[in-house]
Structure 1
């Protein structure tokens, strides 16, 4: 029997994914759409508020999947500390849960998923990577769509639309200066600028990440770190001490060359 199409917004709690979800539902109808969220259990509490308010505005419930582990627990289980180049937390907590859900839609509900991502034109190369991934990773290829690139040709300020037209306040992490609202600032794919921002606005969150890193290094007796410098480990403790010595302001302007985590758009 031919599967019925179902449109699935990869709902990350970010502004672009929210706008794409809204447009998807407007185009295809609530009954044919899903807001899909994979929870890492590290999300900032204001993300949940934003996601629920957007879902209420759109008129559709959030469909959530949870592995049950935090990123730190994934690092321990895999004996690998996520870093600015490779993050197994997103693979375990986001990607695998997504694949399981897609197969569930097909096998148990006879639905054919079409995935929607909130990636903009400035990240078009990431769209290419995601398209390639979902053509080969599931048992059958999955269609992917990127409306911010393929459909909305004009420059759309989705943050203004959400706040001024929808009347929904954006996640507080945007206001605090973060480029995305994932994992309450503890994203291991964040680079030097990200962690300088985290240390400035949420030093308690930085302390938790530093403690996690130190515990991992001690427990597994590995000289590893989240950040990298000159091709080698550079711990959050070392970075914090340097920022304390030299002043944090200079570190807030560093241009990172890290690859955004899949959590940024899924």
Structure 2
């Protein structure tokens, strides 16, 4: 049971993506901007064009963005916790996203301002399982149960429709990560990035994600590779972001053995085998929920 004796405040979990922007729009249209908050937890790794998109959406809605940040980026969190984030566990989202959200809800909204927050997420109709997990989490991890709402599920609006509305009705260009597509091979025409978080450097990305990152932003891939090599040396452990057959598989090895030789048929076959492991290795991150 939710406690509703306080004045409600409607909080859009604004990630910088299209779906969260649309969720914020539907929330504001129904309850008025004076009763709403655009809430953004900044990891300090976001692509610069995401910030541009968020600013334009906020201006369109006539609101300011309420930003909270830990002050560290994911690499600094990995260093402080002495744990390199990977496809199975990423303390970056736990500390930089979830913790900041809980502090905002419990301390600022409930305790200090005596408000009753209601959270809005950009989760689509095909992701009901994610909505269920979020609902369960916020019922049990705040100082009191918090209601969660999912406008896209409630109105059964698919993400492609949302993107069309933002571009063609709002006149706002989506973050550039949405536009990159494969230009050849069996993946031709497919989107390279499945989400626009952390400038492509998401440690929960799998083999296909990092292939796309290498093709589009090789410099970002090399930053991840260099970070991984630093942690391997610092921790003196065989750690990595990617996993092959449940064992560490470094980005340097992936680049030198696979990504630099994708025009070779035998290497392409090896890549296809690696890509099949993504379904087992990759666990959706909380960052993709907001």
TM-score interval for Structure 1 and Structure 2 normalised by the shorter chain:
over 0.9
From 99, 104, 108, the counterpart of 1:101? 104
3-state SS of 1:69 partner: coil
CA 1:180/1:155 → structure 2, altered by over 3 Å: closer, same or farther?
A: closer
Superposed counterparts of 1:11-50, under 5 Å: 11-50=14-53
Q: What is the rounded CA distance, in whole Å, between the counterparts of 1:49 and 1:115 in structure 2?
A: 24
Matches within 5 A, 1:71-86: 71-86=74-89
Distance in 1, Cα, partners of 2:222 & 2:16: 24
Distance 1:5 1:204 in 2: 45
The answer for the alignment partner of 1:227 in structure 2 is 242
Contact kept, 8 Å, 1:66 with 1:93, in 2: the verdict is yes
Tell me how large the CA RMSD over aligned residues is: 1.7
1:160-239 to structure 2, matched below 5 A, reads 160-176=164-180, 177-239=192-254
Superimposed CA distance per residue, residues 134-170 of structure 1 (whole angstroms, 9 cap, x where no aligned partner): 1111111111111111x21354611111001100000
Q: Does residue 68 of the first structure (1) align with residue 71 of the second (2)?
A: yes
Structure 1 residue 124: deviation in Å?
Answer: 1.1
SS in structure 2 at match of 1:241: helix
Q: Is the 8 A contact 1:14 1:264 kept in 2?
A: no
TM-score (norm 1): 0.96
Aligned to 2:261: 245
Alpha-carbon contact 1:224-1:233 (below 8 Å) kept:
yes
1:89 to 92, 104, 121: 92
Q: CA-to-partner distance for each residue in 1:95-125, whole Å, 9 max, x for gaps?
A: 0000000011001111000000001122111
Query: How many matched pairs?
Result: 265
Counterpart Cα distance in 2 of 1:51 and 1:76: 29
Q: Distance in 1 between matches of 2:129 and 2:112?
A: 33
Aligned counterparts of 1:136 and 1:207: Cα–Cα separation in 2: 40
Aligned counterparts of 1:155 and 1:148: Cα–Cα separation in 2: 7
Distance 2:157 2:20 in 1: 17
SS in structure 1 of the partner of residue 122 of structure 2: coil
Contact kept, 8 Å, 2:124 with 2:158, in 1: the verdict is no
Separation in 2 of the partners of 1:155 and 1:263?
A: 19
Distance across 2 between alignment mates of 1:111 and 1:51: 25
For residues 13 and 30 of structure 1, what CA distance do their matches in structure 2 show?
18
Runs of 5+ unmatched residues, structure 1: none
Match of 1:265 in 2: 289
CA contact (8 A) 2:124 2:157 kept: no
Please give the secondary structure, in 2, of the residue aligned with 1:233: strand
